[in-house]
């Protein structure tokens, strides 16, 4: 009896591996809704500790994927705040650096940065956003 049961279990396992019972979609990657991010400027909102890490709740692009230079909406300390992505873990364009964490800089509605200094290296190709985010580039210490 026990032998028959074991055979039956083995058979069902074999048939299970022949087709997937669940659906798989292609990876979205980079920064999307619900990703936890690291705030790299010296604003109080970004640097005070909270029991929940800051998360992305909306990405302002056509598809929901945020790359370097895209604006996102964060939920920090129970508030909503806009931010700019300055580096992600996913390998991006050729000749752009890859960072060890998903870095983000807090921003106001008009594009001005909330903090006063950015110590973390910022990718060089963000310089093309000279018009909108020139104040943000001005407070960056190091370009990489």
Partner 1 sequence: MRIEKCYFCSGPVYPGHGMMFVRNDCKVFRFCKSKCHKNFKKKRNPRKTRWTKAFRKAAGKELTVDNSLEFEKRRNIPMKYQRELWSKTVEAMKRVEEIKQKRQARFIMNRLKKGKQLEKEEAINEVKKNIHLIKAPHAGKAQKLEEKMVEKLQEDVEMGDD
Q: What is the contact surface with partner 1 in residues (CB under 8 A)?
A: 87, 91, 94-101, 119-121, 142, 144
d(CA 96, CA 109): 27
d(CA 102, CA 110): 23
Q: How far is CA 41 from CA 19, 21, 22, 45, in A?
A: 48, 45, 41, 10
For partner 1, give the closer residue by CB, 62 or 94. Answer: 94
| Minimum distance from residue 91 beta carbon to partner 1 (Å) | 8
| Minimum distance from residue 60 beta carbon to partner 1 (Å) | 24
For partner 1, give the closer residue by CB, 42 or 96. Answer: 96
| Minimum distance from residue 118 beta carbon to partner 1 (Å) | 11
For partner 1, give the closer residue by CB, 38 or 77. Answer: 38
Residues whose CB falls within 8 Å of the CB of residue 55, separated by 6 or more in sequence, listed in order: 34, 35, 36, 37, 74, 75
| Minimum distance from residue 29 beta carbon to partner 1 (Å) | 17
As given in the structure block, the two tokens for residue 14 are 């074999």
For partner 1, give the closer residue by CB, 98 or 127. Answer: 98
């Amino acid at each position: 009896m026990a032998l028959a049961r074991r055979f039956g279990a083995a058979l069902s396992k074999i048939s299970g591996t022949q087709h997937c019972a669940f659906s798989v979609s292609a990876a979205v990657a980079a920064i999307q809704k619900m990703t936890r991010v690291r705030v790299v400027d010296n604003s109080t909102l970004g640097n005070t500790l909270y029991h929940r890490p800051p998360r992305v709740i909306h990405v302002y692009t056509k598809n929901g994927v945020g790359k370097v230079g895209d604006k996102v909406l964060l939920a920090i300390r129970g508030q909503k705040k806009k931010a700019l992505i300055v580096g992600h873990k996913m390998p991006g364009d050729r000749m752009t650096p890859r960072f060890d964490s998903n870095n983000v800089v807090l921003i106001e509605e008009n594009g001005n940065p909330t903090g006063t200094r950015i110590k973390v290296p910022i990718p060089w190709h963000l310089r093309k956003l000279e018009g909108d985010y020139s104040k943000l580039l001005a407070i960056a210490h190091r370009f990489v």
